[in-house]
Structure formats: C-alpha cells, structure tokens
C-alpha cells in the first residue's frame, strides 16, 4: 500500500531500485493527470501522506499494458547500463513516418558512475560526481507534489495524440543488436513542435549515488495557468 524508499543507499542495487521507483511514480503521475488511461489502469499507493496513482497492466486497456512493458524494457537497459536517454512524448496522430510533430515531451537522461546509476533529467552541467545526501524521502515527495501541481495547471492535450517512448544508448558499451523487451529499432528520424515550446525544470532528488532531475517540454500556449516560478528557459 506504500511506495517505500530506502532510508540509506549503500549499494548499487539500492540505488537502481530507487531510480526505478521514482521513474515509475513520475511516469504514472504524468499519464494519470494528463488523462491518458482510464482509472482502472492505475492502483493507489502512498508516499508518506501523498496519495499517488501507479500504472499497472490492465487487460481492458492495451495502452497501459504496453507502457508497462516499455518501462520494464527501460529497466532492463538501465540494469545493463546501456540506456543514456529515455524520451516519452505525446505526438499528433497525423504526423508522417519520418518526422513526428510533438506537443509535449518528457526527458529522462541516465548517467552512470562507479558508485551506481546517475539519473539526470535534462541537466546540461552536472559533473556526474556524487552529491551530499539530502533528505531523499522529502525531496521525492516534493518532486511528486510539483508534478501534480504542474499537470493540474497545464491546458489539456489535443484529443488526437499518441504516447511514444524512445530509448537512446551509449554506443561504446551497448551491443549493436541489443533491443530491450518491448522495443525495436526506431524509424522516425526527428521530432518537432508545431507551436513554440517552453522548457521546464520541475525539481530534483539528490542522493550519494545519483541525481534525479525532471525536465518537461510543452507548447508555450499550454502554460497560461502555470505560476511563473515553474518556468526556466
């Protein structure tokens, strides 16, 4: 009934588990509050006093089951230290095969250190060094609360959108024929926004082993109801 975070991260396995849980909570909250899947596709969990929805496989909702499979595939690549970037984006259904018109995008960038995986959402200047351990539980809850506030204030997505997840890899360590479960080689050559995009750094969760930052790109016109302190170009 609860999303449990370790009180102390002393091993690489504990760090991986934390990364996976935070990734699952973030993706679940985003898809739930953006109205992508029905209520039946989610289970209810608690992070301290914060109620969160966690995506699950629902036989009556093939889309949610597919996203769960993508997440498990991402976990496989994360465990092997292959994945460098996971991009989840909503794109219009009438786009061409080689160029997708994106309306909202979520960047999950992964880095690895000798201490374990480093999950870095959109950071351009992080050195990859361990950081002093803050209150991980408090920071995690604050990040999820910010996601809730932001998602509830963004204007609705268009009705004709699809959700896609794309993984990019570190070529120097990833076997050429590697594809995690649920993925295949991408054919789409690029992404573009139909309207002017705005970039948001929502928050971060530091631990001695990794740093988590959430970066969202959405169309500027969708930001009308969001407070100015969420904006950072």
CATH of the domain at 39: 3.30.900.10
CA atoms in the 13 A half-sphere facing the CB of 136: 22
Per DSSP, what are the bridge partners of residue 86?
108, 167
The answer as to whether 6 is a domain residue is no
Longest dimension (CA), the chain: 48
Higher pLDDT, 54 or 19: 54
Cα–Cα distance between 142 and 156 in angstroms, integer?
23
> Residue 43 has which token pair?
């289970």
Question: What angle, rounded to 10 degrees, do the helices at 12-33 and 136-153 form?
Answer: 20
Burial class (CB in 10 A: 0-12, 13-18, 19+), 97: exposed
Range of the domain at 168: 12-231
The answer as to whether 192 is a domain residue is yes
Range of weakest confidence among 36-50, 64-78, 89-103, 171-185: 89-103
Q: What is the pLDDT of residues 36-69, one digit of tens each?
A: 999 999 999 887 777 889 998 888 889 999 999 9
- Residue 129 makes CB contacts below 8 A (sequence gap 6+) with 113
Answer for the pair 107, 85: CB distance below 8 angstroms, yes or no.
yes
Tell me: pLDDT of 72 over 70.
Answer: yes
The answer as to whether 2 is a domain residue is no
The answer as to whether 7 is a domain residue is no
The answer as to whether 101 is a domain residue is yes
> Residue 222 has which token pair?
């969708």
Cα–Cα distance between 123 and 130 in angstroms, integer?
15
Report pLDDT for 70: 95
Cα–Cα distance between 121 and 183 in angstroms, integer?
21
What is the domain count for the chain?
A: 1
The answer as to whether 164 is a domain residue is yes
The helix (run of H) or strand (run of E) holding residue 52 is strand 50-55
pTM for the predicted model, two decimal places: 0.82
The answer as to whether 22 is a domain residue is yes
The answer as to whether 5 is a domain residue is no
């Amino acid at each position: 009934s609860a999303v449990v975070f370790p009180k102390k991260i002393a091993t690489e396995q504990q760090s991986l588990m934390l990364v996976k849980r935070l990734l699952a909570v973030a993706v679940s909250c985003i898809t739930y509050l953006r109205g992508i899947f029905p209520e039946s596709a989610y289970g209810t969990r608690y992070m301290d006093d914060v109620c969160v929805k966690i995506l699950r496989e629902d036989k009556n909702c093939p889309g949610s089951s597919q996203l769960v499979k993508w997440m498990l595939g991402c976990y496989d690549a994360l465990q092997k230290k292959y994945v460098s970037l996971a991009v989840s984006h909503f794109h219009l259904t009438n786009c061409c095969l080689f160029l997708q018109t994106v309306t909202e995008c979520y960047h999950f960038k992964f880095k690895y250190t000798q201490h374990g995986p480093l999950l870095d959402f959109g950071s351009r200047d992080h050195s990859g060094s361990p950081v002093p351990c803050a209150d991980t539980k408090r920071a995690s809850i604050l990040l999820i609360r910010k996601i809730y506030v932001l998602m509830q204030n963004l204007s609705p997505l268009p009705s004709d959108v699809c959700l896609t997840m794309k993984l990019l890899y570190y070529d120097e360590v990833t076997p050429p024929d590697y594809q995690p479960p649920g993925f295949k080689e991408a054919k789409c050559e690029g992404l573009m926004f139909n309207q002017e995009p705005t970039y948001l750094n929502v928050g971060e969760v530091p631990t001695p082993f990794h740093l988590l930052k959430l970066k969202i790109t959405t169309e500027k016109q969708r930001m009308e109801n969001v407070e100015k302190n969420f904006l950072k170009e």
